[in-house]
Amino acid sequence: MNTKIVDTSEPITLVGGGELAPGALAEALALAPVLVAADGGAAAALAAGHVPRAVIGDFDSLSDAVRAQLSPETLHPVAEQDSTDFDKALRGIAAPAVLAVGFLGARVDHQLAAFATLVQGHETPCVLVGETEVIFHLTRAVGLPARAGEVISLFPMQEVQGRSQGLEWPIEGLRMSPMGRIGTSNRALGPVRLEVEGPGLLAIVPRRLLAAVLAAVRLDR
């Protein structure tokens, strides 16, 4: 997918067809006002009173009733079955960042697929928004205004190393791996700074930090 379906200088809210955390769509749209749906996420967008600028996916979850409420030019089918609709949508987007809602909760296999998609090297940074946490791929140094005692979890999707400031258990010198040492349930001592050497590390932080995470990961376009 070389030609982008949606190319914008504003952050994008991407809504999926999974479980929507309470208030997540409205919170995301306040920060990322361009709305795109991944396949069946169009139904959730319409139910909340929003019409997506584009709908991207294989359309196996897009009902005829929902399709009838959308302009044909907003529909962008991607027929291949080798990737998820989340991945298809991210490959079709060029933006400073994406806030993805409706991809966490409900089915565990869908959540695992979303985590795998996050670390696959898409051009646009993406943040998954859940009920109590947000999750993003740590690809560069970020600073976050965490509060003492807040949980800051780091989960390696492959072997990776990094450095931290402001964590109760620093990660410098640790070789993290999904088959060995992971970094879940760490705690902030106050504001934190995280750095990583190479791809593959997911950061899981309190949802109240969403705006700060967006500011930290977004690209200048």
Give yes or no for residue 193 having a pLDDT over 90: yes
Report the CATH superfamily, name and number, of domain 6-131.
Thiamin pyrophosphokinase, catalytic domain (3.40.50.10240)
pLDDT of 24 reads 95
Residue 28's pLDDT band (boundaries 50, 70, 90)? very high
Whole-model pTM: value is: 0.95
Question: Is the confidence at residue 106, as pLDDT, over 80?
Answer: no
pLDDT above 90 for 15:
yes
pLDDT confidence tier of residue 32, bands split at 50, 70 and 90: very high
Task: Give DSSP secondary structure letters for the chain.
Answer: --S-SEE-SS-EEEE-SSPPPTTHHHHHHHH--EEEEETTHHHHHHHTT---SEEEE--TT--HHHHTTS-GGGEEE---SSS-HHHHHHHTEESS-EEEESSSSS-HHHHHHHHHHHTS--SS-EEEE-SSEEEEEE-S-EEE---TT-EEEEEESSSBEEEEEEESS--TT--B-TTSB-EEEEEEEEEEEEEEESS-EEEEEEGGGHHHHHHHHPPP-
Reported as a pLDDT band with limits 50, 70 and 90, residue 82 is confident
All structural domains of the chain with their residue ranges = 6-131, 132-221
Q: Tell me the fold of 132-221.
A: Rossmann fold (3.40.50)
Mean pLDDT score of the chain, rounded to an integer?
A: 94
* pLDDT reported for residue 2: 64
pLDDT at 134 over 70: yes
Task: Give the pLDDT band (50/70/90) at residue 80.
Answer: confident
Q: What is the mean pLDDT of residues 169-184?
A: 95
